Amino acid sequence: MDLIKEYNENELTITVKDKIDTVTAPDFENEIMDEMGNFNSLIVDLTDLKYISSAGLRVLVATEKKLKPEGIPFVIKINETIEEILVMSGFDKILNIEK
């Protein structure tokens, strides 16, 4: 997993490349949690991601559940491969995704 964090004022974009699996999902979650309180908007860019496991999906859902009550916008940018996974799992209905 390659991960890059970029701030544009109070908007944080986290770009993840390669894959998020059971080994890398905890690091992915820690990177997000370490930034909590530092942003007013979060974008997770998965357009260059090749694979995401159920552990990675859990991180996305947990992040959504944490940010939604606080009114913090959370957008996930995806490619066709990740879209297929989200649609099959039904997470496309609970996550704010953009192609």
Name the one residue in this structure whose structure tokens are 């996930």.
76
Q: What is the CATH number of the domain that holds 19?
A: 3.30.750.24
How does residue 10 score in pLDDT terms, banded at 50, 70 and 90?
very high
> Can you give the residue range of the structural domain that contains 45?
2-98
User: Which residue has tokens 């309180």?
Assistant: 37
Mean pLDDT of 38-58: 98
Question: What is the percent of the chain with per-residue pLDDT over 90, rounded to a whole number?
Answer: 99
pLDDT for 67: 98
Residues 58-99: tens digit of each pLDDT: 999 999 999 999 999 999 999 999 999 999 999 999 999 998
- Residue 64 pLDDT: 98
Split into its structural domains, the chain has a count of: 1
Question: How far is residue 67's CA from residue 24's CA, in Å, rounded to a whole number?
Answer: 22
